[in-house]
A and B are shown apart, each in its own frame.
Chain A
Amino acid sequence: MQKLIRNLNYIWNKFRSDRKLFWDELEEQLVAGDISIDTVARILEKVKKKSYSENINNPEKIKSLIREQVVEILEINGDNKLNVSPVSPTVFLIVGVNGSGKTTSVAKLANLFKDDGKKILLSAADTYRAAAAEQLQHYADKLGLDIVCHQKFSDPGAVVYDSIEKAQANGIDLVIIDTAGRMQTSHNLMEELKKIKKVITGRINRNADEILLVVDSTTGQNAKNQAEIFNNSLNLTGIILTKTDSTSKGGIILTIKNDLNIPVKMFTDGEKLKDICYFDPAKFADSLFS
């Protein structure tokens, strides 16, 4: 992640005589962080109001006002913890568009919970992409985990069914389901996910404990479409923000949280399996503004 606002002091001084230009410049910098224009407008409106009413004349203070707004958006109704069921197995369903980092995220999540001493089973429900199951198998071997794979092009619903059945029979604590990447615009593939969700509910008599959308942090405004459409089909419980070791800022998660109230729960920031963390709004804001 890189800083969201650069040279605030500089632009503050540069536009000393015309504050409107200062706000325009600030707006541009926030938009450049992939926050949507609407969200930026909402943030800046509040910041402006406060800065005028409290007569703030100091760029550092303005920066901290913006930071405050960002944290507020991310924390409101906030529950960033992963939901673990008191009845085993807990089931996590991982979904997302192609190339967002689903399989790697599944492996990283498994690694995290394995360190907690949980018994984990991976479910290779991506039966479509070539070698997807083999990639997951590789991680299962590496971490010494159980895995359920079927043949290529077989029904992913059946993989999920077998996975949960096996987990229930073997005292598994956590099942993590990897699904095929799909564009939110593909109606049939979205229907397939609904079916998978139903299979899970049918087996454990409750919804999956987490339905997590994996979002590539370099994605722009389309991430909101992704969240919206996946949410309409599945009722997402949260987001895994990936590739945050890139130069992107991932500002679109503010818009997703603000407009759709879907929180980021985890983020990943590297090639290694340990490179996954619980999302902390305050720390995230710090990384953008400090």
Chain B
Amino acid sequence: MFEALTNKFEDLFYKIRNKGKLSPGDMDAALREIKLALLEADVNFKVVREFLDNVEKKATGEKVLESLTAYQQVVKIVNEEIIKMLGSSSGDISFVPKGPTIIMMIGLQGSGKTSSVIKLANFIKSRFQKKVSIVAADVYRPAAVLQLEDMAKNINVEVFSEGSSDPVSLTEEGVETFKKAGSDVIIIDTAGRLQVNEDMMNEIADIKRKISPHSIYMILDSMTGQEAVNIAEGFNKRVDFDGIILTKLDSDTRGGAALSVYYVVKKQIKFISDGEKIEDFGIFHPDRIASRILGMGDIITLAEKAEKVVSEKEAKKIEQKIYKNELNFEDFISQLRSIKKIGSVDKLFSMMPSANKNKIFKKASLDDRYLKRIEAIINSMTVEERRRPHIINGSRKKRIARGCGCSITEINRLLKQFDKTKQMLKQFSGLKGKTGLNFNNF
């Protein structure tokens, strides 16, 4: 999900990062790109406007433009603002201490209510070991009840459907029945309706008044366009729901609707649904989704950590050396050790932006064991060899191989890769930022 938006941001920040400092013109271009990306992702235009204002204000306030780390700072601000748009905490279910917890599901036709009812029932049943029952209050759509009963059978959940033809009384009867039967959780599936259909909205407000559900979830199709805010506003005005279940995230939707909705009605997305299987359902984590939108992985943490282990002075020194083509194995191993201080290679990669990960690391089968071997080879070199790698000849290679217990082929490979890296770093040295090390050939 959200892939396109992610790619946009990555392209954008890739451009900015290569420049280092941001000019006021860069900032305008960045804001324009963010605007287009968000609009293309179906984020409501009013929300986009406010979002951009906030990003701009913050960026100016924090003097981003004057900073050397402008890129990281813009990312941080955009990231924070997106988290704000998504709400601040992860959804969970609160059960009432006494009697059954009643949950009502509402939404437009085709948003995925019935599937979500089943998935939620299964989620509660398997995670909390609660007895869950379902009231089938969609009396309008042909075979809706049958669909519910059929799916409920698969997860061993009881469905109440044989009651009055009026959905309000039917729901009351169903809730009464399951209260007596000792259900822990009662989920009510209602008919799909348009938020502008007065009669249908009256009906759902009526059901709410009669049975006072503890939670009401609105089901929102993640592919919804600009209308998402009006839909959410319409339902919210009449039934004041508690949270949102975002469905169909297995599509390639950019999912901007999700961003808009919280911003406008201040109701959180509690759960997501992302597949045809009953298990394809889970708790929504705004922070995770935000970094996914940005495609930044956890670049912020990474940047913070890198700052701690690589001093600005050291980074400058390396950059100079790269520029003069004087990089040697001593620099290399000090960089290697810095990286190890940040964490394991796997962890490092998980914090990297995904597109760049693909561009740079796809072919590199880097793991901690491989890095250890490289370190061992370099440790077996004399100081002279580390400083002037070109003096390493056949007999020196034999000695190094004995010292670290690897083959001469491996040493040859390292030397060759080191040369290539050096050349490449020199090419990029005008553009590169803080950390000089590039893994491309390793």
Which A residues fall within an 8 A CB radius of B? 28, 31-34, 36-37, 97-101, 128-132, 134-135, 137-139, 183-186, 216, 218-223, 225, 243, 245-249, 252, 271
Instruction: Tell me whether A129 and B112 are in contact (CB under 8 A).
Output: no
Looking at the complex, which one of B148, B225, B252 makes contact with A184 (CB distance below 8 Å)?
B252
How long is the Cα–Cα vector from A62 to B254 in the complex, in angstroms? 32
Which B residues fall within an 8 A CB radius of A? 36, 39-42, 44-45, 108-112, 140-144, 146-148, 150-151, 194-196, 221, 223-228, 230-231, 234, 248, 250-254, 256-257, 276
- Which residues from B are CB-within-8-Å of A37? 36, 39-40
Known A-B contacts A131-B147, A220-B256; the reply to A98 vs B248 at CB < 8 A is: yes
Give chain A nearest CB distance to B139 CB in angstroms. Answer: 13
Give chain A nearest CB distance to B179 CB in angstroms. Answer: 27
Known A-B contacts A36-B40, A130-B150, A185-B252; the reply to A99 vs B226 at CB < 8 A is: no
- Which residues from B are CB-within-8-Å of A131? 143-144, 146-147, 150
Instruction: Tell me whether A221 and B254 are in contact (CB under 8 A).
Output: yes
Instruction: Tell me whether A31 and B226 are in contact (CB under 8 A).
Output: yes
Instruction: Tell me whether A218 and B112 are in contact (CB under 8 A).
Output: no
Known A-B contacts A131-B147, A218-B108; the reply to A185 vs B225 at CB < 8 A is: no
Looking at the complex, which one of B142, B151, B257 makes contact with A220 (CB distance below 8 Å)?
B257
Looking at the complex, which one of B151, B225, B234 makes contact with A248 (CB distance below 8 Å)?
B225
Known A-B contacts A34-B226, A97-B248, A185-B251; the reply to A221 vs B110 at CB < 8 A is: no
Give chain B nearest CB distance to A57 CB in angstroms. Answer: 27
Give chain A nearest CB distance to B425 CB in angstroms. Answer: 39
Give chain A nearest CB distance to B254 CB in angstroms. Answer: 7
Known A-B contacts A32-B45, A131-B147; the reply to A100 vs B227 at CB < 8 A is: no
Max chain B Cβ within 10 angstroms of own Cβ: one of A98, A99, A219, A225: A99
How long is the Cα–Cα vector from A34 to B254 in the complex, in angstroms? 14
Instruction: Tell me whether A134 and B226 are in contact (CB under 8 A).
Output: no
How long is the Cα–Cα vector from A247 to B230 in the complex, in angstroms? 8
How long is the Cα–Cα vector from A252 to B109 in the complex, in angstroms? 19
- Which residues from A are CB-within-8-Å of B234? 247
Known A-B contacts A138-B142, A184-B252; the reply to A99 vs B111 at CB < 8 A is: yes
How long is the Cα–Cα vector from A87 to B228 in the complex, in angstroms? 45
- Which residues from B are CB-within-8-Å of A100? 110
How long is the Cα–Cα vector from A37 to B225 in the complex, in angstroms? 13
Give chain A nearest CB distance to B200 CB in angstroms. Answer: 10
- Which residues from B are CB-within-8-Å of A222? 42, 223, 251-254
How long is the Cα–Cα vector from A39 to B234 in the complex, in angstroms? 29
Instruction: Tell me whether A101 and B109 are in contact (CB under 8 A).
Output: yes
- Which residues from B are CB-within-8-Å of A36? 40
- Which residues from B are CB-within-8-Å of A138? 142-143
How long is the Cα–Cα vector from A222 to B221 in the complex, in angstroms? 11
Instruction: Tell me whether A220 and B108 are in contact (CB under 8 A).
Output: no
Looking at the complex, which one of B147, B195, B225, B252 makes contact with A219 (CB distance below 8 Å)?
B225
Instruction: Tell me whether B110 and A130 are in contact (CB under 8 A).
Output: no
Give chain A nearest CB distance to B342 CB in angstroms. Answer: 35
Give chain B nearest CB distance to A232 CB in angstroms. Answer: 13
Instruction: Tell me whether A134 and B143 are in contact (CB under 8 A).
Output: yes
Instruction: Tell me whether B143 and A225 are in contact (CB under 8 A).
Output: no
Looking at the complex, which one of B40, B141, B227, B251 makes contact with A218 (CB distance below 8 Å)?
B227
Looking at the complex, which one of B42, B109, B111, B142 makes contact with A135 (CB distance below 8 Å)?
B142
Instruction: Tell me whether B147 and A216 are in contact (CB under 8 A).
Output: no
Give chain A nearest CB distance to B32 CB in angstroms. Answer: 11
Instruction: Tell me whether A220 and B42 are in contact (CB under 8 A).
Output: yes
Task: Name 21 interchain pairs, CB-CB below 8 A, sorted by A.
Answer: A28-B45, A34-B225, A37-B40, A98-B248, A99-B109, A99-B111, A130-B147, A132-B143, A135-B143, A138-B143, A216-B110, A216-B223, A219-B223, A220-B42, A220-B257, A223-B223, A243-B108, A246-B194, A247-B231, A247-B234, A249-B227
Instruction: Tell me whether B143 and A248 are in contact (CB under 8 A).
Output: no
Give chain A nearest CB distance to B330 CB in angstroms. Answer: 50
For residue B37, which residue of chain A has the nearest CB? A37
Looking at the complex, which one of A31, A99, A137, A247 makes contact with B221 (CB distance below 8 Å)?
A99
How long is the Cα–Cα vector from A135 to B111 in the complex, in angstroms? 17
- Which residues from B are CB-within-8-Å of A132? 143, 147
Give chain A nearest CB distance to B202 CB in angstroms. Answer: 16
Max chain A Cβ within 10 angstroms of own Cβ: one of B40, B45, B195, B227: B227
How long is the Cα–Cα vector from A223 to B257 in the complex, in angstroms? 14
- Which residues from A are CB-within-8-Å of B110? 98-101, 216, 243
Instruction: Tell me whether A134 and B146 are in contact (CB under 8 A).
Output: yes
The 7 lowest CB-CB distance pairs between A and B, nearest first, are: A220-B225, A99-B110, A220-B42, A131-B147, A135-B143, A130-B150, A138-B142
